Amino acid sequence: MGDLSAHFSKKEFACHCGCGFDQVKQELVAKLEKLRELCGGKPLRINSGCRCAKHNKTVGGAKNSQHLYGTAADVAQVPGISIDQMAKFAEQAGFDGIGKYNNRIHVDIRGCKARWDYRK
């Protein structure tokens, strides 16, 4: 049980630097719930949610990263589901931004369509 939704809590989205920034948008959480459902109800692990400007710079995030606004999450690959399939599910869940990485996907609610593939 989470404090944001049935399966997600604020602490999963909190900035990793310890600054306390955890103001994730409810629309993002709702779409993550839909993504979880599309992944067969398997748990989703949030690798990165909210980021303060200092932490975003430290990790090499984009200057205008959606993580700065609580509108993005990096989700670890779900065992048994390919990155390509997770990205398709993210599309079905209604995410605007979807990025593919070797072991995770990035999803966001930026307000316009964006797609990228940074796999090696």
pLDDT digits (tens, 9 = 90+) for 71-95: 999 999 999 999 999 999 999 999 9
Class of the domain covering 10-117: alpha beta
* Planar angle of CA 64, 34, 13, nearest 5 degrees: 45
Would you state the pLDDT for residue 1? 66
Distance of alpha carbon 40 from alpha carbon 69, whole angstroms: 29
Would you state the pLDDT for residue 70? 98
Q: Within the chain, which residues score under 50 in pLDDT?
A: none
pTM of the complete model beyond 0.85: yes
